[in-house]
Amino acid sequence: MIKETRKALKNGILLLRWIAVISSSVATIISTMLPLYVTISVGQWVSLFLLLLFSAFFIHGVLTHILNDYTDYLSGTDEHSPAILSGGSRVIQTGGMSAATLGSIGKWLTIVLFLLAAAFLVFGYVRLGILLAVGLWAAAAYSVPPLRLSYRPFVGEWLCTFPSLLFLGFAGAWLALDTIPEWAVQNATINALVCIAWVMVHHIPDLNADANAVPKKKTTVVWASETLGFHFIRLPAIVYYMLAGGCVMWLGTERLTAGAGVAVSIVAAIVFIIKMDVENAEEVSAVEKILLLLALLTAIWLGIFP
């Protein structure tokens, strides 16, 4: 019994991929919750933060990664991934859990969460229902056939990653204030674009594995390589960072300090990407770790200077 509990706990921790969750979902939550600390009561702030934190780890860390692991296992891409930071949680490859079990858990979790979202909407908890529905859509549409949007260039990040992080980003303000202030939308937008940018770097070591998957996992990075040439595989990440940097104009003079911090972070990220050896998976993963830290620092900076 103890051995089985330890195994289940180990598999759960592997599935969470907590570094990725903290650098994306948790980061964007913090970015909005920090300004709210002086607006709402401490008790309300703590309750809301814990609710969003639990939701992020459950939807992103558990459901999204279960569905993604299962689909990528079936297509074969995880089998040939360098598996440094990419290549899934490896719970299937290491024998921690069978693919059938993982797929079954993912299916039932999706059904339960769909019913919960419907219940929220029916009983008047509209905002909670919408937020859960967006997260559920992103998790399922990203990996589950027939949509499987992560296997198509551009649409995976724009129809799944971006809306889920955008809504999660301003969720704290929406739930606490009954409105969505502009600073919350700005923070959420920038954090979502920064997340997509480092995800593009995350896909670089998996280029060959994704291109040879069945069906082909034609990420935006694979598309760039096949359409523009191998030396352009940095381009998607750089473009998304530039889009995030362009939002500094949106912040304007009212948030000059916030904009300056974002600009410095974006320039640093782009420099690291330009200088990295894209053929060296270990170096790319090392740069990705730096980008994850920059993403977290950028989100906190935006939260400190709303």
At 167-221, the pLDDT tens digits run 999 999 999 999 999 999 999 999 999 999 999 999 999 999 999 999 999 999 9
Which tokens hold the place of 139? 């998790």
Instruction: Calculate the CA 270 to chain-centre distance.
Output: 19
Residue of 274, 284, 302 whose CA lies nearest to 30: 302
- Return the axis-axis angle of helices 162-177 and 27-36, rounded to nearest 10°: 20
Which residue shows structure tokens 């204030």? 177
Cβ pair 19, 296 in contact under 8 A: no
Angle at 214 between CA 208 and CA 220, to 5 degrees: 50
> Which domain does 96 fall in, by range?
2-304
Cβ pair 35, 306 in contact under 8 A: yes
Given pLDDT bands bounded at 50, 70 and 90, which one contains residue 77?
Answer: confident
Q: How far apart are the first and last CA of the chain?
A: 50
pLDDT at 5 over 70: no
Cβ pair 195, 19 in contact under 8 A: no
pLDDT at 6 over 70: no
Q: How many C-beta neighbours within 10 Å does residue 271 have?
A: 10
Instruction: Calculate the CA 170 to chain-centre distance.
Output: 15
Q: How many C-beta neighbours within 10 Å does residue 300 have?
A: 15
Radius of gyration of the chain (CA): 19
Count how many domains the chain has. 1
pLDDT at 154 over 90: yes
DSSP assignment letter at 104: H
Angle at 22 between CA 253 and CA 73, to 5 degrees: 130
pLDDT at 78 over 90: no
